[in-house]
Structure 1
């Protein structure tokens, strides 16, 4: 697996408000829980044929958080969310692509 898609550490930030992933290439990503919840790509959140979002942002509480985080093999994470959603699988490649930091946003825009 490419270093940019290999998580070397996954933990909450010091204030426990975000999820921090340190990648094998040295990059660090920090995600707010609601942002991650809204990125779910499961069939209940995104139409599997058209790719159209089904999840309405106004139905996701501002205070949503992961109750538990599970590894899916060596390639992804699955979250048990406080809104009782638990079917989405977040591959490490997806998590790196949706990194909200300024550096990644700049790279994406090029």
Structure 2
């Protein structure tokens, strides 16, 4: 009568190899460091923002006034100007048959 079956030893070894592989993978993941990269488009936006801060003082003042008016609720929209800007947009829908 056989007490030790050789097939069982192979299955134990494969289980141990699987555990060892998982340990190695987690060790590699833990050693990895986070990286941050800024795309060229984002760099251009940052440069544009920096230029905006040093832009024309009159424009900066006007933007500040507009922001204050919007936040306080006193900004009034000129309906005529708005309609003039929207007319070409709606005409393009008429040309396409929509």
Structure whose CA Rg is larger: 2
More helix by proportion, 1 or 2? Answer: 2
TM-score band w.r.t. shorter chain: under 0.3
Q: Which has the higher contact order (CA 8 A, sep 6+)?
A: 1
**Normalization by structure 1: what TM-score?**
0.18
**Normalization by structure 2: what TM-score?**
0.20
